[in-house]
């Protein structure tokens, strides 16, 4: 399926400067792969299990809870600020082609490990990065973002009292963007951990961090939304806020009105590279699950169901006989996956996981990925106008690539507006599909719904399509709407169509 670029850029809220220690000497922040280090090799297994997570959390900040009155921001900053740290990373990265051709460039003049053009080798340039973090145990356990420490050769933690420690990366998890650090210290101030499930839209929040390297900066806002699923980050149900978060805030805490940490600031939407009123935090309960796994084993693992899902809208809900457009609509079941073994089918609508409601597709992704491989989950599924309970034993998220799944075209009727033909043998082999109808022509209702010539129609109202006559049979009943499962450019998608007269 053709992918359209976002009109705004998602960037991580981390500061990076190459070849200079100045926190404000920043390159382009819009591309994480260009502005962040590339890899880190961490001996996370040694000593990880010996970490003791002692909770010496400070008492709650006195906060007025009467509606219309604001929290004591001064008290929150005074009590929690000492547990917020700056995280500085350093290392080297491969020089760009432009930098390799610039012998007089300051990145190359007298810098260790750098080689000017014409001397062979693999030129590299020093890099430095800046982020934030916070102390969760008095013996030196710290949480931050994985992208803050990615590729770091050395990580330094700076406390609010100006003491600095070399930190060890116990482990990091790119899927949730969480990293756990350890410094050799004791009696450290810690934050108090809260419950993000108690947050409501409109609640006040406070962010503390080091935007642009400006340490111990405090900003405030409100919860704008909960459970946001972002492109490329469908596992995390982000907390959206309008608290000012900028490059350098990455990994810093987000506090609720009582002074308890409810999230880790991670990303912003921006067209300029700076704050524009939309920032996102990882819920602290997600981070703590990852922390516990990393402390115990040095790594985090995630469950995998093996489905491709999409949100419902009212037209799709009507097509499947649902009154509400809630749930995750299964568009594809991966071969050999836990979902396939459990009997899930395209067209199923998953509404609950172990009793937890699934309102949107992102909710399912979060609930599954934050479960452990091998865990058994009970799914409440809508199929054929009735509810079913299906149990699945989750696999492991291993990054497997999804396999995508000559007669004259025949019209299916003016109400739908499609001209279809069966797949040829060559098309079946190339697309790895054993059934489906190719869209040779499109008009009317189907064209308005977004169906395109060249799409492969795989199912109608959840039933696999075997022939043109089958489609005609469905349309002969004059349904108010139908859900067409199509494959386009290797991706599968349900498209609701409201037939014309």
Residues carrying an active site annotation: 147, 177, 250
> 479 with 499: CB under 8 angstroms?
yes
407: left (phi over 0), alpha (psi -120 to 50) or beta: beta
Alpha helical stretches, state H, 105-230: 146-149
Calculate ∠ Cα 263-268-274, nearest 5°.
Answer: 130
Integer Cα distance of 16 and 14 in angstroms: 7
Q: What is the total residue count of the chain? A: 501
Counting Cα atoms < 13 Å in the Cβ hemisphere of 106 gives 6
Residue 274, classified by CB atoms within 10 Å of its CB into exposed (0-12), middle (13-18) or buried (19+), is: middle
**Which residues face 282 on adjacent strands?**
264
Query: Which of 190, 191, 194, 211 is closest to 257 using CA atoms?
Result: 194
- Dihedral Cα 166, 58, 192, 61, nearest 10 deg: -130
Q: Are strands 192-193 and 260-270 parallel, antiparallel or unpaired?
A: parallel
Task: Identify the residue whose tokens are 């920043």.
Answer: 26
Alpha helical stretches, state H, 189-228: none
Alpha helical stretches, state H, 410-457: 425-431, 444-449
Query: In the numeric block, which tokens belong to residue 7?
Result: 């009109």
Task: Identify the residue whose tokens are 């990580």.
Answer: 155
């Amino acid at each position: 399926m053709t992918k359209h670029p976002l009109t705004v850029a998602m960037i991580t809220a981390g500061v990076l400067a190459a070849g200079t220690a100045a926190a404000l000497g920043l390159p382009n922040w819009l591309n994480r792969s260009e502005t962040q280090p590339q890899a880190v090799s961490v001996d996370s297994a040694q000593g990880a299990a010996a970490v003791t997570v002692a909770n010496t959390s400070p008492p709650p900040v006195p906060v007025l809870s009467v509606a219309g009155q604001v929290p004591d921001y001064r008290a929150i900053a005074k009590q929690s600020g000492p547990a917020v740290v700056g995280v500085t990373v350093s290392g080297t990265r491969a020089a760009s082609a432009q930098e390799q051709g610039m012998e007089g460039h300051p990145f190359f003049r007298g810098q260790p490990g750098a080689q000017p053009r014409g001397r062979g080798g693999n030129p590299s340039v020093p890099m430095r990065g800046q982020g934030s973090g916070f102390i969760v145990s008095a013996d030196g356990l710290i949480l931050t973002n994985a992208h803050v420490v990615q590729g770091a050769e050395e990580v330094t933690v700076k406390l609010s009292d100006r003491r600095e420690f070399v930190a060890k990366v116990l482990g990091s998890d790119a899927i949730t963007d969480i990293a756990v650090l350890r410094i050799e210290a004791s009696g450290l101030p810690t934050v108090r951990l809260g419950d993000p499930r108690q947050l409501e839209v409109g609640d006040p929040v406070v962010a503390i961090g080091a935007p642009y390297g400006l340490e111990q900066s405090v900003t405030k806002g409100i919860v704008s939304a909960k459970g946001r699923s972002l492109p490329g980050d469908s596992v995390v149900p982000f907390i959206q806020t309008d608290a000012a978060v900028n490059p350098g805030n990455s990994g810093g805490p987000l506090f609720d009105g009582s002074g308890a940490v409810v999230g880790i600031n991670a990303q912003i939407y921006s067209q300029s590279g700076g704050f524009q009123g939309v920032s996102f935090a990882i819920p602290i309960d997600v981070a703590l699950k990852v922390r516990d796994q990393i402390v115990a084993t040095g790594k985090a693992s995630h469950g995998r169901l093996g489905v491709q899902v999409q949100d419902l809208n009212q037209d799709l809900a009507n097509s499947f006989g649902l009154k509400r457009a809630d749930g995750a609509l299964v568009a594809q079941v991966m071969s050999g996956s836990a979902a396939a073994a459990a009997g899930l089918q395209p067209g199923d609508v998953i509404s609950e996981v172990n009793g937890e409601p699934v309102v949107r597709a992102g909710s399912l992704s979060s609930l599954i990925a934050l479960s452990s491989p091998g865990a058994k989950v009970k799914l409440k599924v809508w199929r054929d106008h009735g509810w079913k309970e299906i149990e699945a034993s989750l696999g492991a998220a291993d990054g497997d690539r999804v396999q995508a799944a000559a007669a004259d075209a025949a019209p299916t009727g003016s109400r739908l507006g499609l001209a279809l033909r069966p797949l040829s043998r060559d098309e079946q082999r190339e697309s790895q599909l054993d059934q489906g109808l190719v869209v040779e022509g499109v008009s009317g209702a189907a064209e308005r719904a977004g169906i395109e010539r060249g799409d492969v129609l795989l199912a109608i109202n959840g039933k696999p399509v075997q022939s043109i006559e089958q489609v005609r049979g469905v349309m002969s009943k004059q349904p108010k709407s139908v859900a067409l499962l199509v494959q386009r450019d290797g991706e599968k998608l349900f498209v609701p169509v409201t037939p014309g007269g």
